[in-house]
Structure 1
Amino acid sequence: MISGIDSTILDARSLPANDNVNPYAFSIDLNGEWFTSKGAMIAYYGTIDFSGISAYASRAAWVAARFSSPLYAQDWVVASGHGKLVIGDRGNDINSYDLDAGNLTIKQTNLLAFETGLELKQSIVPGFVTLIGTGKFLASSNGPVIFVEPPFRADPEALLGWADCPSPSQHYDYNWMAQSLMAGVQGMFGRNSGEERQYDFTGAGTVLLQSSEVQRHDPALLRIVEAQTQMLDNRSAGQLGQRLVARAQQQ
């Protein structure tokens, strides 16, 4: 017998249905299909199949219609079948949200899963995707989520997403940069703190913030940059390479 602070033994019947197991894990009562982020599954009961977006779209045209983001297609799978599917994200807080004929743009690295009633599109803001329609989705955060109304400026690393409001513009505080020599040096190499650069929100809507400034690795951002470098001539590409090397050494 295992004992501990909380040694409750769960099974397929006692796991919650579409609810949190604890603050860091969520149990999906799967009866059909969900889109899930690759690597988010930590356990499951029942008969569940996981197929890549491209493979599933070849036999189900609705997948291509609902998942309209080629940049992130390789980072997602379709979970199909029947059973309890438990989702986690490296010990981060997990919350479920419901959209009702709405739209929400969220940081791609924090989006864990969503129902097929929602459509995913690639946002014009790098590193973010947009969900449109009606349905439930799961997102992780480093600490509790804070909901704020515009007008508002947010640290890009603390920003989780925004709902029913225009995309943000970028605001640079050059007074802060001028007062800090180190901040100016870091800015030259592409390193910015929230005091120097913020996302500026206006209009009606809701902004979602996580309670920390922990930056998550997003491999798709490298793919975006690599695609853009194709437009550079050899001289410009060489200069970019030198700056990236200097940045890596400075960090």
Structure 2
Amino acid sequence: MTTDAPLIFDATTLPSNDNVNPYAFSVDLNGQWFLQKGKMIAYYGQIDFQGVGHGRLDRLIASSFHSPLHAADWVVAEGHGKLLLADRAFDVNSYDLDDGNLTVRSGNLLAFEPSLSLKQSIIPGFLTLIGTGKFVAASNGEVHFVEPPVRVDPQALVGWADCPSPCHHYDHEYLKGVMGGIRAMTGMGGASGEEHQFEFVGAGTVLVQSTEVLMAERDTGAVPQQAGVPGGGPGGHGGQGGHGGQQSPQLPGQLGSLQRRFGL
């Protein structure tokens, strides 16, 4: 009985700005890219990683990054080589914008070219890319493209392009009776797509993932809590401090994790 040998890549055989498989993407870096922390799994070549806000990158930040709430979640990769991007074995794909605009869930966006300008969406938990260039995003399952008018389960929504921002839609039966009264008093409820949807109208494209389950939440760039990983658990030595490891101070850019966790 024979088994297929694993496919082994090197710097010359990795794809150029294309998927290695459904779960990893290879960026042919020749200059600069913005990366969300924790999404680079390997690289070849001479590449440096600088935090957003470093002095010598001020001009790049001023032209391409306009989301202070998420600044602590991102770095700039600079140099020449091949970058391998992935996110916990979720589906990964690249998309091209041609003088367009696309709003995407902030936790799903892995990387983008500096020719695109990133802005903070008025919808909590989403970011907007404007201009011409390539970006890489992850999803929990395959992404489907649909045209408005359409109503989408909030947990299945990945983003939307070249169309107005959505509004909330609550089914009439859900607003009546006991549950309607509870929601009126507390503002809670409406988590299910059968009760609450995002409604899109006008021209454009909506990106929907093939599951109603959001990508599993994890602090951006966090060290896995596992033995043997420096700073990651029993036996680790990563400066977490005693008493089971103290939490590090919360940075402003990490406030978006609350919004992403609840799919807002």
CA drift of 1:190 comes to: 2.8
Q: Distance in 2 between matches of 1:221 and 1:82?
A: 28
Distance of aligned partners of 1:170 and 1:84 in 2 relative to their CA distance in 1, 3 Å threshold: same
- Secondary structure (helix, strand or coil) at the match of 1:157 reads helix
Matched ranges for 1:105-144 at <5 A: 105-144=103-142
- Secondary structure (helix, strand or coil) at the match of 2:13 reads coil
> Could you say which residue in structure 2 is the equivalent of 1:46?
45
**One-letter identity of the residue aligned with 2:35:** T
- Secondary structure (helix, strand or coil) at the match of 1:101 reads strand
CA drift of 1:214 comes to: 1.6
Q: Distance in 2 between matches of 1:183 and 1:58?
A: 54
> Could you say which residue in structure 2 is the equivalent of 1:241?
none
Contact 2:67 2:118 in 1 (8 A): yes
Residue by residue over 1:82-137, the C-alpha shift from the partner in whole angstroms, topping out at 9 and shown as x without a partner, is 10000001101111110000000110110100001000000000000100000000
Runs of 4 or more off by more than 2 Å in structure 1? 3-6, 57-60, 176-179, 181-191, 215-226
Structure with greater proportional helix content: 1
Residue by residue over 1:159-196, the C-alpha shift from the partner in whole angstroms, topping out at 9 and shown as x without a partner, is 000000000111111403547x6798689573421111
Distance of aligned partners of 1:63 and 1:35 in 2 relative to their CA distance in 1, 3 Å threshold: same
Could you tell me the TM-score, scaled by structure 1's length? 0.81
Contact 2:69 2:254 in 1 (8 A): no
> Could you say which residue in structure 2 is the equivalent of 1:223?
255
From 78, 81, 106, the equivalent of 1:83 is 81
> Could you say which residue in structure 2 is the equivalent of 1:98?
96
Distance of aligned partners of 1:40 and 1:221 in 2 relative to their CA distance in 1, 3 Å threshold: closer
Matched ranges for 1:6-17 at <5 A: 6-17=5-16
Residue by residue over 1:3-54, the C-alpha shift from the partner in whole angstroms, topping out at 9 and shown as x without a partner, is 9645111110111110000000000000000001110000000111111111
Q: Distance in 1 between matches of 2:180 and 2:26?
A: 44
Contact 2:115 2:133 in 1 (8 A): yes
> Could you say which residue in structure 1 is the equivalent of 2:201?
202
Question: What count of residue pairs does the alignment treat as equivalent?
Answer: 222
Q: Distance in 2 between matches of 1:190 and 1:64?
A: 38
CA drift of 1:62 comes to: 2.2
Q: Distance in 2 between matches of 1:178 and 1:212?
A: 28
Distance of aligned partners of 1:225 and 1:101 in 2 relative to their CA distance in 1, 3 Å threshold: closer
- Secondary structure (helix, strand or coil) at the match of 1:54 reads coil
**One-letter identity of the residue aligned with 1:62:** L
Q: Percent identity?
A: 58
Contact 1:149 1:204 in 2 (8 A): yes
Distance of aligned partners of 1:132 and 1:88 in 2 relative to their CA distance in 1, 3 Å threshold: same
2:67 pairs with 1:69 = yes
Q: Distance in 2 between matches of 1:36 and 1:87?
A: 9
Distance of aligned partners of 1:184 and 1:60 in 2 relative to their CA distance in 1, 3 Å threshold: same
CA drift of 1:60 comes to: 3.6
If asked which structure has higher relative contact order (CA below 8 Å, sep 6+), I would say 2
Distance of aligned partners of 1:102 and 1:32 in 2 relative to their CA distance in 1, 3 Å threshold: same
Q: Distance in 2 between matches of 1:60 and 1:222?
A: 21
Distance of aligned partners of 1:25 and 1:186 in 2 relative to their CA distance in 1, 3 Å threshold: farther
Q: Distance in 2 between matches of 1:168 and 1:38?
A: 28
Distance of aligned partners of 1:32 and 1:104 in 2 relative to their CA distance in 1, 3 Å threshold: same
Q: Distance in 2 between matches of 1:92 and 1:38?
A: 16
Q: Distance in 2 between matches of 1:200 and 1:182?
A: 21
Contact 1:127 1:218 in 2 (8 A): no
Unaligned runs of 5+ in 2: 220-251, 259-264
